[in-house]
Amino acid sequence: MTSPGGTSLPWTTSARRPHIRLPGRDGHTGRSGRSGRRETRRRTPWALWVPGAIAALFLLLPLIGLLVRAPWSGLPDLITEHDVREALFLSLETATAATALSLLFGIPLAWLLARTRFPGRSLLRALVTLPLVLPPVVGGV
């Protein structure tokens, strides 16, 4: 379909639109945004692998030891005991209540700390992050 002047209309299939090339990050057209120099993958220094592996073992070995030494054959008998079931249900109830309270009060508090400014905001933010940096024993004392 053509216009009265003989040019193609833009909404028809036969119309040819010019291809526009936008500049990439480096300012040159026709590139995918990468710079002209070749990207090289940097290797992690071996001096970081050693303490990292020790830290991973420090966390994993006690867990593996608990799993290996657990009395798996007597587990069904242990779970059916009254005291064990009571402790399990208490843990589930406490975790559910803590999650509900965290959702009910934590989300509005996080929104206030992130979006508004008020006197004492930095002190309140420090108090909120304090349990993240204190060991549980210190918090319990």
* Element holding 104 (H helix, E strand): none
Bridge partners, residue 2, by sequence: 8
pLDDT of residue 44: 81
Helix (H, G, I), strand (E, B) or coil at 23: strand
Handedness of CA 70, 74, 76, 80 (dihedral sign): negative
Q: Give the integer Cα–Cα distance in Å for 38 and 33.
A: 12
Q: Give the integer Cα–Cα distance in Å for 79 and 86.
A: 10
pLDDT of residue 96: 97
pLDDT of residue 42: 81
pLDDT of residue 46: 84
Per-residue pLDDT of the chain (141 residues; tens, 9 = 90+): 555 666 555 555 555 556 666 655 555 555 555 555 666 678 888 888 999 999 999 999 999 999 999 888 888 888 889 999 999 999 999 999 999 999 999 999 999 999 999 999 999 999 998 888 887 777 666
